Structure 1
Amino acid sequence: MEAALVVVVIALALGFDYTNGFHDAANAIATSVSTRALTPRVALTMAAVMNFVGALLGTAVAETIATSIVDLKDATGHQALVVIVCALVGAITWNLITWWFGLPSSSTHALIGGLVGAGLAASLGVYWQSVYEKVVLPMVFSPLVGFLLAFAIMVGVLWLLRNAAPAKTMRRFRLAQTVSASAMALGHGLQDAQKTMGVIYLALLTVGWANPDDGIPLWVKVCAAAAISAGTYSGGWRIMRTLGRKIIEVDPARGFVAESVSATVLYVNAFVLHAPVSTTHTVTSAIMGVGATKRASAVRWGVAKNIGIAWVLTIPAAAAVASLFYFVLNPILNR
């Protein structure tokens, strides 16, 4: 039975990774597509490739997900696997709901909420200190840093180029967006694919199919990278429209700054802080930051408010769905 549950966990985790790809594809390419720096298909292909590469560049975020969210030490192997299954179902459900409504919510926080909700439903421990330090604080500060840094850099760019010819300048920024969008896609793979690796690794550790001293197996890394790349290539047009057009009308200069700032924040959190931050929160706040340099009314704050509500609801909503599934599935899977 445990072997079958591990297979289910792997399948669900890769399914979550796929939904993460098409849900968050817009993070990397929405501004580049909306400014016509890249065509949609070229942008998706580039994002898929860079997501794959980024997924193979590190494992620190994956190990945080596997060891620092829910405490499975006192759970039986069967119970631990049921918790992971329900966490994934909760995360996937919330991803699909927000994708349907075109809201760029966080797949990261959906997964973490799912783990917390299923763990609490199973009466297991949660590493609250770790959740606070590595999830809640980055959830608050990453968007703030993204907004303020994007605003400040955009003001500086506008001042430096105040006498430049607009048409020629925008043409150069449109070319530069190819680089910044690639950097953003690399950061997305570095952050988000690792979360799936962490869940699969957690399941393998639970049943003794992986050695903690050996780290995450190569096949887990490759499968997670491939799943998120496939999901990215399949698109995410609903959310792309929200990020590319509904928050502000993005020009190439603002798109370049927003993507560059977002990528920097993702790299710092992955390589320095080992924190699983939301690419969605980071890039959305950066887009708002560059938009606010036009004028406050340039940002469509009503859309931003709806996105903010989705951000706040993500962890508790995914936790609620995961806990509900635990109460439903646990008796069935224990027969």
Structure 2
Amino acid sequence: METAVLIVVLVVGLALFFDFTNGFHDTANAMATPIATGALKPKVAVLLAACLNLVGAFLSTEVSKTISHGIIREDGIDAGTFLPIIFAGLIGAITWNMLTWLLGLPSSSSHALFGGLIGATLVGASAAAIDFGTVLSKVVLPALIAPLTAGLIAFAVTKLAYALTRRYDGKPDGRDGFRWGQIFTSSLVALAHGTNDAQKTMGVITLALITAGLQDGAHSEPQLWVIFTCAFAIALGTYMGGWRIIRTLGKGLTDVKPAQGFSAESSTAATILASSALGFALSTTQVASGSVIGSGLGRRGSHVRWRTVGRIAVGWILTLPAAGVVGAFAALLVVWFGTWGVLVDAVLAVAIILGLFLRSRKDAVHADNAMSEVADSGLAVKVKRNPPPTRRQRRLERAEAGQDKTGEGER
């Protein structure tokens, strides 16, 4: 029993750290566009996102039930086996999150968690311990449908926004009102992120507590202290900023006009909030990317760079199996060495986290230098632009304006 409690403590600690990485990994999904268009200053944006993530974590627990009583069948697996499986799965998720954060790649923290848990369960228990029906209906299908749905909504809203403000065509600042609207819509995205992503960590901790006999299995609702700690962890991670991801997304999104940003964020927030109410565990990154592409297509004269979209999709596809491989390896150590395998996993987890963090210090990214790279999602839609005037056209324009001295002399 003492060993089980010790493993529960390790699981809770690692789960909260995953929640923290989820916060700084996904900050850009809510705040990259308002930062890029100048609607919010970077530090103000992440502080606002942190507060709203904290609030959102208290608004729904449906997604946590999907994790604690859905994906993995804990019946028939004793605590001595199942708790190390959860621990190994978290290692897989954190490793992928830290690696993609170091590389500045926006990826799905949710799918990293699911991949880690599934990989660890396959090795530590069996395929029969995974409810593939729930995985398909609550994870896989939403992952395919949600980005498409968000993109269609963003496309329609962008079309409507440009139609209602057509009189501003040709005026560079005619649609600046949407920049202020982005403050509201990006806040909704941050709130929605809290309602969906924080719940996943609550579900993992609740699953561990039920397995260890520290919570009644008939009640899958997370305990109050679990809600508080998970909400605080994701809010703290959000406040830390995740500047590497913001750097990747933000500069690319400067080509997205305020009207498009407003439309994309509205679509992202609506999709995630609806999914949270239904208990669907979504990837905020995928939904946000789908919205960006949809809003770009809604703008006249644009087309999709399908090669870029393909690279984004490959990153999405790799997340779940990559985290699953790491989770499976961590579970294999437990199978080989028992309780000592858990300690080996713990040491390896600390080494991976410290190693990636120290490596990141060689190229530190913060609020002052975050906006320096181009995002693949921002490049997925190309807008046709008029070619610059030729030298002859410029000379004729100066002549017509009375600025061409040769023309004046001839007259």
Moved more, 241-250 or 254-263: 241-250
For normalisation by structure 1, the TM-score amounts to: 0.95
Partners of 1:231 and 1:193 in 2: how far apart?
11
For normalisation by structure 2, the TM-score amounts to: 0.78
State which of 116, 119, 143 in structure 1 corresponds to 2:118.
116
Partners of 2:205 and 2:316 in 1: how far apart?
25
Deviations 1:73-128 (A, max 9, x none): 11110111000001100001111121122221111111111111111112331100
Contact 2:150 2:291 in 1 (8 A): yes
Instruction: Say whether residues 1:279 and 2:284 are aligned partners.
Output: yes
Partners of 2:234 and 2:315 in 1: how far apart?
22
State which of 72, 75, 95 in structure 1 corresponds to 2:74.
72
Equivalent position of 2:45 in the other structure: 43
Relative contact order (alpha carbons < 8 A, sep ≥ 6): 1 or 2 greater? 1
Aligned partner of residue 71 in structure 1, secondary structure: coil
Equivalent position of 2:266 in the other structure: 260
CA offset at residue 220 of structure 1?
0.1
Deviations 1:35-92 (A, max 9, x none): 0100000000000000000001111100101111111211110111000001100001
Partners of 2:322 and 2:31 in 1: how far apart?
27
Letter in 2 for 1:87: G
Contact 1:103 1:307 in 2 (8 A): no
Equivalent position of 2:387 in the other structure: none
CA offset at residue 30 of structure 1?
0.4
Which runs of no fewer than 5 residues in structure 1 stay unpaired?
none
Instruction: Say whether residues 1:62 and 2:64 are aligned partners.
Output: yes
Contact 1:12 1:85 in 2 (8 A): yes
State which of 300, 306, 313 in structure 2 corresponds to 1:308.
313
State which of 204, 212, 220 in structure 1 corresponds to 2:209.
204
Deviations 1:190-216 (A, max 9, x none): 000000000000000001111244521
Equivalent position of 1:251 in the other structure: 257
CA offset at residue 135 of structure 1?
0.6
Letter in 1 for 2:244: R
Letter in 2 for 1:32: P
Equivalent position of 1:145 in the other structure: 149
Partners of 1:64 and 1:117 in 2: how far apart?
18
Regions of 4+ moved over 6 Å = none
- 1:1-335 equivalences under 5 Å are 1-124=3-126, 125-164=129-168, 166=171, 169-214=174-219, 215-246=221-252, 249-271=255-277, 273-294=278-299, 301-334=306-339
Which runs of no fewer than 5 residues in structure 2 stay unpaired?
341-411
Aligned partner of residue 63 in structure 1, secondary structure: helix
CA offset at residue 158 of structure 1?
0.7
Contact 1:135 1:277 in 2 (8 A): yes
Partners of 1:8 and 1:145 in 2: how far apart?
38
**Cα 1:270/1:217, change in 2 over 3 Å:** same
Partners of 1:308 and 1:240 in 2: how far apart?
19
Letter in 1 for 2:142: P
Contact 2:24 2:241 in 1 (8 A): yes
**Cα 1:306/1:332, change in 2 over 3 Å:** same
* RMSD (Å) for aligned C-alpha atoms: 1.7
Contact 1:248 1:300 in 2 (8 A): no
Letter in 2 for 1:163: R
Greater Rg over alpha carbons, structure: 2
Contact 1:146 1:282 in 2 (8 A): yes
Contact 2:297 2:304 in 1 (8 A): yes
Aligned partner of residue 163 in structure 1, secondary structure: helix
Identity of aligned residues (%): 43
Partners of 1:144 and 1:129 in 2: how far apart?
22
